[in-house]
């Protein structure tokens, strides 16, 4: 998964964002099986309010396309910092994009600066900072 590089279609091993509604956003790894509750491999299926979706059915679909569920539809999106933040379970304090921008502005970061971060979910600030530095 990369927040910087883009692809046109979903391949096995990709991490995708399934956007069902503003309150239902899921980050899903496209792989045939996952570990079930009892430690055994089971088919990778997303259970949502719109019904079940076999994750392997996403392979070959274009990013941005509409994905039909038995009781509704969602959209298949490429991961971005904003969508990744929205899809994360909020067990800790989340730093949202406007806050990250303010933090980076206050730090006066420029290409070549070294920043040390600590914490469980540090990748959001790192990925957004990389994008900002690449744009300069």
Tell me: do 13 and 48 sit in the same domain.
Answer: yes
For 23, other C-beta atoms within 10 Å of its C-beta total 7
Polymer length of the chain = 136
Give the pLDDT of residue 61: 94
**Tokens linked to 110:** 């420029």
Tell me: do 82 and 93 sit in the same domain.
Answer: no
CB 130 within 8 A of CB 4: yes
For residues 25-39, b (16+ Cβ closer than 10 Å) or e, as one string?
bebbebeeeeeeeee
Domain of 2, in residue numbers: 1-87
**Over the chain (136 residues), what is each successive 10-residue block's mean pLDDT?**
76 92 90 87 91 93 94 92 78 69 76 67 54 46
Give the pLDDT of residue 120: 56
Tell me: do 68 and 124 sit in the same domain.
Answer: no
Number of domains making up the chain: 2
Tell me: do 74 and 135 sit in the same domain.
Answer: no
Tell me: do 75 and 92 sit in the same domain.
Answer: no
The tally of CA atoms less than 13 A away on the side-chain side of residue 34 is 13
Give the pLDDT of residue 103: 75
């Amino acid at each position: 998964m990369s927040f910087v590089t883009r692809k046109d279609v979903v391949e096995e091993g990709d991490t995708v964002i399934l956007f069902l509604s503003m309150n239902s956003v899921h980050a899903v790894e496209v792989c045939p099986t996952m570990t079930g509750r009892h430690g055994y491999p089971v088919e990778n299926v997303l259970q949502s309010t719109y019904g079940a979706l076999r994750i392997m059915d996403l392979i070959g679909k274009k990013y941005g396309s509409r994905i039909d569920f038995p009781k509704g539809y969602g959209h298949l999106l490429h991961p971005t910092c904003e969508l990744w933040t929205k899809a994360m379970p909020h067990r800790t304090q989340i730093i949202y994009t406007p806050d990250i921008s303010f933090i980076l502005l206050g730090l006066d970061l420029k290409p070549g600066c070294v920043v040390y971060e600590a914490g469980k979910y540090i990748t959001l600030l790192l990925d957004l900072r990389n994008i900002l530095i690449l744009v300069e």
